Every structure is written in C-alpha cells, then in structure tokens.
Amino acid sequence: MNSLDPLIRIVGLLGLGGLTLAVLVGIAFQFFKWFGAKWIDDRFQRSLADYQHRQTMEVERFRDDAARLLDRAVKFHSMEFEVLPEAWAKLSQAYGSAIDVAVKIQHYADITWLSDEDAEAIIATRDWSETDRRSVMDSTRQDRQKKFVETEDWYRVSKAFRDHADFQNYIISKTVFIEPGIYDQMMKVSQLIVRALNEMRMAQRDPESRREVGFQSREVLLEDGESEVAKVRESVSKRLWVDLAK
C-alpha cells in the first residue's frame, strides 16, 4: 500500500480529488503545521505554568525559611540584650561585696561600753541568727566587741559568697547568650573574687592560717580587680551600644 493512500482517501471524502499531489502535500503540510504549532504552544504553556508554580512554591518556601531564621535571630539577640545587663548588674554586686570585706580598713559599731539595751538595739539591725545575737550579748563586756566584730565579719563574707554565687550561677546558666570573649572576662573576675573570699573564710575559721598563707588572693583582688571589671564594662557596653548602632 502506498503511504499516501490514507491521505488520498481523506481528500476524496473532502471532495478535493481534483487537486494535484503537490497541492495535497501543501495542504497536509499546512494542516500539520497549524496543529503542530498549537500542540507545541499548548505544551509550552503547560510547562511554563508548571515551572511558574514550582518557582512560586520555592519562593514561598524560601520566605518561610528566612522568616524562621530571622525570628530565631531576633529572639536570640533579644535574650542576649536581656542577659548582658543582668549579668553586669550581678557582677557589680558580687565585686562590690567582695571589695567591702577585702579592704584592710573596716568600720564597726562600738558596743563595748553600751548598755545591754543599746547594744541589743544595734545587733537587732543585723540579719543574724538568734544564736549569734545571744552569743554576742552573753559575752563579757571586755569580749563583747571582739565577738561582735568576728560575727559581723562572718556575715559580711557570707553575703559576699552569696552574691558571688548568684553572679557565677547566672552567667553559667546563660552561657549561650553571652559572647565567649565577654564570658571569659566575667569568669576571670569571678575567679579573683572567689579565691579572695575562700582565703578570708579560711582565716576566719583558723586564725593561725593567716601567718601561713597570708592574704595573697585578697591583695590580687584589690590590685587587679578594678581593671578586670573595667574590661568587662567596656566589652558589655560595646556589645550593647556600638553593635546596636550598626
């Protein structure tokens, strides 16, 4: 069978039998050209629509990811700007309490020659246990001032220990929100404080140890503490204000 027989039959049905083969081929070419172009155009439009849909989905996915990342960054920096001022406040309190008990010249109320009533009125202003209050008041008049000073010193050092623990526990619990360089500076101050306090507590428990170990750590705190705290202040200030302005 000739390959053009089907076309000839179609032409016959359409009443085009009188046309030459060249004309028929031309008609067939135009016929397939028109339908082919329409088919290609339809395929292109569907492909374009699919591509645009995929691109839209990718853009939306990117926007969602970017929004999540931005939200996480905002929350992180928000926590950082809450943690740093609080950490600085706690460091200042801990350092101040440590310096109060480390300085060589201390001031105490003198209850040596006060009446029992007046002495008790002064002791009542202290946050001491009842046992410690009674221990001072039950001392002889000659020993009362010495006992008062020892008890006062004990509670001052205890407060300094509490302030230090509050500071150190806070920065340890918030480590992830503190820049490593600032954290290291804070921990250095923390170590200066706790070594001096441990040294003073040891001397309180065993006065003879003063002759053996002296107060080397206390001297280091008094000599280097202020400059180390200044470094922390500068770093925290830069982080909170200079970086905020960028």
Whether 47 and 94 share a structural domain: no
State residue 149's pLDDT score: 94
Q: Is 134 helix (H, G, I), strand (E, B) or coil?
A: helix
Dihedral (Cα; 164, 170, 171, 177), 10-degree rounding: -160
State residue 142's pLDDT score: 85
State residue 66's pLDDT score: 47
State residue 207's pLDDT score: 73
State residue 38's pLDDT score: 66
Question: Is 180 among the domain residues?
Answer: yes
Whether 40 and 90 share a structural domain: no
State residue 241's pLDDT score: 81
State residue 215's pLDDT score: 79
Whether 112 and 221 share a structural domain: yes
Where in the sequence is the domain holding 170, given as residue range(s)? Answer: 77-245
Dihedral (Cα; 195, 196, 202, 206), 10-degree rounding: 150
Global pTM? Answer: 0.68
Helices 216-237 and 180-205: angle between axes, nearest 10 degrees: 160
Answer yes or no: are the C-beta atoms of 84 and 236 closer than 8 Å: yes
Q: Is 107 helix (H, G, I), strand (E, B) or coil?
A: coil
Question: Is 71 among the domain residues?
Answer: no
Listed residue (153, 128, 140) closest to 210, CA to CA: 153
Whether 55 and 111 share a structural domain: no
Low-confidence stretches of the chain (pLDDT beneath 70): 1-44, 47-77, 209-214, 242-246
pLDDT in tens, 99-126: 999 998 889 999 988 999 999 999 999 9
State residue 87's pLDDT score: 97
Question: Is 72 among the domain residues?
Answer: no
Whole-angstrom Cα Rg for the chain: 44
Q: How many domains does the chain have?
A: 2
Question: Is 213 among the domain residues?
Answer: yes
State residue 28's pLDDT score: 55
Q: How does 112-140 read in b/e, with b if 16+ C-beta sit within 10 Å?
A: eebeeeebeeebeeeebeeebeeebeeee
